[in-house]
Amino acid sequence: MFRVTGLVFTGVPGSLVVTWTTFNKTESKVEYGFEGARVFEMSAKGDATVFVDSGEEKRKMFIHRVTLTGLKPAATYVYHCGSDEGWSDIFSFTALNSSSSFSPRFAIYGDLGNENPQSLARLQKETQLGMYDVVLHIGDFAYDMHEDNARIGDEFMRQIQSIAAYVPYMTCPGNHEATYNFSNYRNRFSMPGQTESLWYSWNLGSTHIISFSTEVYFYIEYGMDLIFKQYNWLKEDLEEANKPENRAIRPWIITMGHRPMYCSDDDQDDCTKFDSWVRVGRKDIKPPAPGLEDLFYHYGVDVELWAHEHTYERLWPVYGDKVYNGSKEQPYVNPKAPVHIITGSAGCRERTDRFNPNPKEWSAFRSTDYGYSRMQVVNATHIYLEQVSDDQYGKVIDNIWVVKEKHGLSAWL
């Protein structure tokens, strides 16, 4: 019995990881070939790890991972995975272009559940039409993966297969993954790096993308040291990305984390507070934990993607609770602070959230429609972002161009 969880970009050009689940021990094999050529003329082997869910039944599953290497950029491949004891359906993918002049297209959302997954059908269709190169799922899956002895997690993986089997499905953890110390998330997903998918970075086109866990600030029972470990890793990663030779090739730095630093929802979440933990850190613990706003500002992070609030909100360029627009006429042309986008309205059993009727001045546009975001990193100076309303049958309800002739800390000055 298969649960194909799909593709993950390894961060290494020309390679992808195929992951899937079985309930008995089998070989881990992928057979693949170029579209239009002889089917399955290549094969690769990997291995499986055992995941035992912590629910009452202690259900056991085998998570298979096979790395495909030497893929030709922009070539389309067909593949299936499994073993001689049983194969998956046939899927296809287009290998990511490794050039820094590549203009990747992303679908971006968080908070997608099994029940009321309103945007799912549109996302499935658009992925299969070839509209996206990568999907970024910014935390909160299934609602919740551990429930019913992790059967809800199995069902979710089946549900996203029609997206994740065709394009890399890149993730970060959200609060709904926290049960049993995030074990369903850490075992089911296989992001780059050696941190069980909690924080990692990768490059695509002219972009350096950093995924991290906001949850380390909230679930300190799983280890307060994780706040500091992640912070130090982020600092090192940002330092490396800011070396002149690296920033010249990949000028854009984009982050993705589940709980926003800012939001104008009416729900008393962390982001509704002036001194949100993600933004300014936690002074109530010892030693005090640093927040992330100053770090991201200092290293010139350009765009920050968030979810958690079941709404869409675009902010004016903001730092320290103040607006720093590029100019009155063109706020996103050479902005003087990072641009924040909150996109957590893909659809789940908790429905959408309500907004505070009196938002702060950094709130530029907001919508309670179900939907998701699209982003294209067009080149070294231009990023296009838009919001799709599923309630309005796929209508684009918001869009901006972020234009930057200069990147890094000096861009703010």
| pLDDT (tens digit per residue) in 285-329 | 999 999 999 999 999 999 999 999 999 999 999 999 999 999 999
DSSP single-letter state for residue 405: S
Cβ neighbours of residue 180 closer than 8 Å, sequence gap 6 or more? 53, 54, 146
Average pLDDT value for residue range 31-56: 97
Cα distance between residue 248 and residue 57, in whole Å: 53
Which amino acid is it at 397?
A: I
In which band, very low, low, confident or very high, does the pLDDT at 91 lie, cut at 50, 70 and 90?
very high
Which amino acid is it at 26?
A: T
Q: Percent of the chain at pLDDT above 70? A: 99
What is the end-to-end Cα distance of the chain in Å, rounded? 57
Cα distance between residue 46 and residue 144, in whole Å: 28
Cα distance between residue 365 and residue 349, in whole Å: 25
Cα distance between residue 28 and residue 358, in whole Å: 55
Cα distance between residue 411 and residue 332, in whole Å: 12
In which band, very low, low, confident or very high, does the pLDDT at 275 lie, cut at 50, 70 and 90?
very high
Check pLDDT > 70 for residue 1.
no
Which amino acid is it at 61?
A: M
**Residue 338, class by beta-carbon neighbours within 10 Å (0-12 exposed, 13-18 middle, 19+ buried)?**
buried
The residue written with tokens 């992330």 in the block is 292
Length of the chain: 413
Average pLDDT value for residue range 94-104: 96
Cα distance between residue 226 and residue 410, in whole Å: 30
Average pLDDT value for residue range 160-182: 98
Distances (CA, A) of 181 to 184, 195, 198, 407: 9, 14, 11, 37
Check pLDDT > 90 for residue 394.
yes
Distance of CA 21 to the CA centre of its chain: 21
Average pLDDT value for residue range 96-106: 96
In which band, very low, low, confident or very high, does the pLDDT at 217 lie, cut at 50, 70 and 90?
very high
Average pLDDT value for residue range 233-254: 98
Of 254, 296, 302, give the one whose Cα is nearest residue 279.
296
Question: Using CA of residue 176, residue 178, residue 183, residue 189, what is the dihedral sign?
Answer: positive
Backbone angles phi, psi at 392, to 5 degrees: -105, 35
In which band, very low, low, confident or very high, does the pLDDT at 229 lie, cut at 50, 70 and 90?
very high
Which pLDDT belongs to residue 3? Answer: 67
Check pLDDT > 70 for residue 353.
yes
The residue written with tokens 């003329």 in the block is 41
In which band, very low, low, confident or very high, does the pLDDT at 2 lie, cut at 50, 70 and 90?
low
Of 60, 70, 68, give the one whose Cα is nearest residue 22.
60
In which band, very low, low, confident or very high, does the pLDDT at 49 lie, cut at 50, 70 and 90?
very high
What secondary structure does DSSP assign to 360-371, as a single string?
-TTEEEEE-SSE
**Dihedral angle, C-alpha 278, 280, 283, 289, nearest 10 °:** 60
10, 171 Cβ separation under 8 angstroms:
no
Q: What is the pLDDT of residues 188-197, one digit of tens each?
A: 999 999 999 9
The predicted model scores a pTM of: 0.98
93, 166 Cβ separation under 8 angstroms:
yes
> What is the SS3 assignment for 156?
helix
The shares of helix, strand and coil residues in the chain, as percent rounded to the nearest 5, are 20, 35, 45
Which pLDDT belongs to residue 179? Answer: 98
The phi-psi region of residue 260 (left if phi > 0; otherwise alpha if psi is between -120 and 50; otherwise beta) is beta
Check pLDDT > 70 for residue 119.
yes
Check pLDDT > 90 for residue 360.
yes
Cβ neighbours of residue 401 closer than 8 Å, sequence gap 6 or more? 332, 333, 382, 383, 384, 385
Q: Percent of the chain at pLDDT above 90? A: 99
Of 84, 106, 107, give the one whose Cα is nearest residue 29.
84
Which amino acid is it at 56?
A: E
Cβ neighbours of residue 7 closer than 8 Å, sequence gap 6 or more? 16, 17, 18, 19, 93, 164, 165, 166, 167, 168, 169
Cis before 284 (ω within 30):
no
Which pLDDT belongs to residue 4? Answer: 72
Mean pLDDT, rounded, of the chain: 97
Cα distance between residue 318 and residue 340, in whole Å: 8
Cα distance between residue 343 and residue 387, in whole Å: 8
Which amino acid is it at 289?
A: A
